[in-house]
Amino acid sequence: MHKVNPLIESGWNEKLMKEFRSGYFFSLKTFLKDEKRKLVIYPPGSKIFEAFNLAPFNEVKVVILGQDPYHGKGQAHGLCFSVPPEVPVPPSLGNIYKEINNDMDLPVPLHGNLESWAKQGVLLLNATLTVRAHQPGSHQNKGWETFTDAAIAAVSEHHKGLVFFLWGNYAKSKESLIDKNKHLVLKAAHPSPFSAHQGFFGCKHFSKANEYLKSMGKNEINWGIE
């Protein structure tokens, strides 16, 4: 058995321990150590599991799926679509804010830090949790997708009444991991400027999510950002 001491919230640690102890994860760790010796990797090591740490397993209510961390300096901090407060709001997140403004009549935020969502139980999960600086997709197909698929399957299995946002074809490819008899799956085009006008704008996913959570006796998400 490989020695494992992941910096991850205890509920997630328990549900994903099988993954941490598996051969593919050992290979992934070896790959990352080798990458870090030679290259700049994002996000910082302490932030790799930030999505899990800010949204503990037993508190997850909504899952938003991304694909890859941001690859520019200072952008990635472990939450999909999110950036630290001092970093300019990326285009896809800007479009998410426009849809929230249209859907919920909430003001458009001035920064792109989504930690307040995560702390309400929104799992902001990228399929790949690390990336080389300035090389998008550089850590795909190294094992992260197997790990994050297991995380999606775990929340689907052990919870009831969650909302999954699947934006774009890549996120939609994860639909088979979700038990749609127990959860609400909301699908739309990706919020990227290249596709947002093909069905993301006007999808009203944020109000639909809150209506569903309320119907399940759960607290609604405050989608506003201070």
Phi, psi (deg, nearest 5) at residue 161: 80, 35
Residue 48 C-alpha from the chain's centroid: 11
Active-site residue, 103 included: no
Asked if residue 66 lies in contact with residue 117, where contact means CB atoms within 8 angstroms, the answer is no
Question: Which residues, 6 or more positions from 165, have their beta carbon under 8 angstroms from its beta carbon?
Answer: 62, 63, 64, 65, 171, 186, 188, 205, 209
Q: Which one of the listed residues 34, 68, 105, 149 is annotated catalytic?
A: 68
DSSP letter at 169 equals H
- Alpha-helical runs (H) found in 167-219: 168-172, 205-215
Dihedral sign from CA coordinates of 90, 115, 224, 179 = positive
d(CA 48, CA 87) in angstroms, rounded, equals: 18
DSSP letter at 226 equals -
- Looking at the annotation, which residues are catalytic? 68
